[in-house]
């Protein structure tokens, strides 16, 4: 691993690292925040998955989460949203290709060669973090929009891997909204049965672990009705008896102003599970 940025923050250190990913077959960047407690011993890890068009930079520079991670003694790990590089398939549209990995394992050409973000986040990344940093194997996962979709799906598909999960404005039913339909058709092909394996509102019915889901959604979000549709997740959780805390926030939109307003509550939610 190569450290390419380092900044003092709230008594800890916000770094940016890059490494060669065997799973994605490209160079990847990620943010790692080490709280001051990491100087004395190992700390639990909260993984954050960002949304469409983002890189590792958006969350670490806009959310203000370092303050709360320092308070609770959590390491924050923020990977990029997709594989990148001259040899990695891309598209002209902002919602497909580089910057839009959707945290799944692609099966269709040309995407399958690199787009395996699920395996990267679930397997390669924690192995790397737990080997290279003072991290325990207590993990939480959270994210925003496309990253909120990723956080929910990763937790539901990997029982026992995470102790906590939350999301801001997640795409809860990607197989039934335009963003997801476009990406899933490209990455997974036209068989909609395969899409259900990457759709949180479909996965809760068969979940073997009842890990509580915490979701915050702005009522002023411009994508609420067309792309996010949290009522689908609410209905699926009610039908399956899966614990869900869905908080609709009056006046808030899809931006990092929304995330920064409530990220402290989410970090506290994860800390209670990770340190409890």
Which tens digit of pLDDT belongs to each residue from 204-250? 999 999 999 999 999 999 999 999 999 999 999 999 999 999 999 99
pLDDT at 23 over 90: yes
Which tens digit of pLDDT belongs to each residue from 63-77? 999 999 999 999 999
Classify 137 in phi/psi space as left (phi over 0), alpha (psi -120 to 50) or beta.
alpha
What residue ranges do the domains of the chain occupy?
Answer: 2-275
**Percent residues over pLDDT 70 in the chain:** 100
* DSSP codes of every residue in 139-176: EEEEEBTHHHHHHHHHHHHSTTT-SEEEEES----GGG
In this prediction, residues 19-29 reach a mean pLDDT of 98
Is 252 in contact with 220 (CB distance < 8 Å)? yes
Is 29 in contact with 56 (CB distance < 8 Å)? yes
Q: Distance between CA atoms of 161 and 62, rounded to whole angstroms? A: 28
Cα–Cα separations (whole angstroms), residue 261 to 31, 62, 148, 241, 249: 21, 11, 16, 30, 10
Any idea which residues carry the catalytic annotation?
A: 145, 221, 254
Which CATH superfamily hosts domain 2-275? Alpha/Beta hydrolase fold, catalytic domain (3.40.50.1820)
Q: Dihedrals φ, ψ of 135, to 5°?
A: -115, 140
Q: What is the pLDDT of residue 276?
A: 79
Look-up of token digits 């068969």:
206
């Amino acid at each position: 691993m190569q450290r390419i940025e380092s900044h003092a923050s709230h008594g800890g250190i916000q770094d940016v690292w890059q490494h060669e990913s065997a799973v994605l077959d490209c160079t990847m960047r990620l943010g790692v925040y080490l709280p001051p407690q990491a100087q004395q011993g190992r700390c639990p890890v909260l993984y954050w998955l960002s949304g469409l068009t983002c890189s590792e930079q958006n969350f670490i520079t806009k959310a203000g989460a370092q303050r709360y991670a320092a308070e609770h003694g959590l390491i924050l790990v923020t990977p990029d949203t997709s594989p990148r590089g001259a040899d990695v398939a891309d598209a002209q549209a902002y919602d497909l290709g580089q910057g839009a990995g959707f945290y799944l394992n692609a099966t269709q050409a040309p995407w399958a060669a690199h787009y395996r973000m699920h395996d990267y986040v679930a397997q390669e990344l924690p192995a790397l973090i737990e080997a290279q940093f003072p991290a325990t194997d207590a993990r939480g996962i959270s994210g925003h929009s496309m990253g909120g979709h990723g956080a929910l799906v990763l937790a539901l598909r990997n029982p026992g891997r995470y102790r906590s999960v939350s999301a801001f404005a997640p795409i809860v039913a990607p197989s039934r909204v335009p963003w997801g339909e476009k990406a899933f058709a490209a990455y997974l092909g036209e068989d909609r049965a395969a899409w259900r394996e990457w759709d949180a509102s479909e996965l809760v019915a068969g979940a073997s672990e009842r890990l509580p889901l915490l979701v915050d959604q702005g009522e002023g979000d411009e994508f609420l009705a067309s792309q996010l549709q949290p009522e689908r997740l609410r209905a699926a959780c009610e039908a399956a008896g899966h614990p869900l805390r869905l908080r609709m926030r009056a006046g808030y939109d899809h931006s990092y102003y929304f995330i920064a307003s409530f990220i402290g509550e989410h970090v506290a939610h994860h800390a209670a599970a990770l340190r409890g």
